[in-house]
Structure 1
Amino acid sequence: MIENKKKPNPIDIHVGSRIRLRRTMLGMSQEKLGESLGITFQQIQKYEKGTNRVGASRLQNISNILNVPVSFFFEDAPGEHSSAGGGMEASSSNYVVDFLSSSEGLQLNRAFVKISDPKVRRKVVELVKALAAEADAD
């Protein structure tokens, strides 16, 4: 028997991943976001996985709660047409999104922004670059 499950639309998956990205950047739980919207955390999970499509008014509410414009959720979306020369920017942006979507990237980012001394920040960047260069050499 052929299974007839509908696959989530790539745009819905992308929008959901951007909701998750922003929510985690703010340190907000699915429960808290759901509570703010008057829905369950399970529904937030479905939005974030792209299983359920987010309606326009709900997306507007989410953007208000997460303090980003609605367009944030569509940045670098599949099939998005960018201006000439935008290919490098898109791949760079995807790299940042992937980094911030990881637990380590999020932790590193949160810790880094707490460092107020510019000299210390530069030293941290130099350290990370040196470690990356070592890893590349191996």
Structure 2
Amino acid sequence: MTQSKLGDAVGLTFQQIQKYERGSNRIGSSRLYEFAKALDVPVSFFFDEMPSNALSGRPMSGRGRKGFGEAGTPFDQEKDPLIKRETLELMRAYYKIREDRVRKRIFEMVKAVGAVSHAAALGGGKHRRSAHGD
């Protein structure tokens, strides 16, 4: 999407968008929300590359609450794969597959690989021999 199109979508000029992109202007939460809606991504999309400990331990000013990155908060991205960029990209790619049969086979394959991986993790990561002695 061009800066002009994004600007039109959120009611700004492309010059204002450039200032946000370069970091000349700070982006407030409401503006970030508008950008996320215009780009059809969750707000968390903009934080996916941020180190997991970047927000932890920083108290919210004047409120006496726990830091943003602590367990159980909406900002605990490592615990919720549904808000990761990878999940969004995977879902978009998956639904671009027009053939229902192919999409269903990929779905079943991913479920099977996930189940095997999960079972291996629960079993201490040991490789188990198959019934065929592999």
TM-score range, shorter chain: 0.3 to 0.5
Instruction: Name the structure, 1 or 2, with higher relative contact order (CA <8 Å, separation 6+).
Output: 1
The structure whose residues are more often helix, as a share, is 1
Q: So what's the TM-score if we normalise by structure 2?
A: 0.38
> Which has more radius of gyration?
2
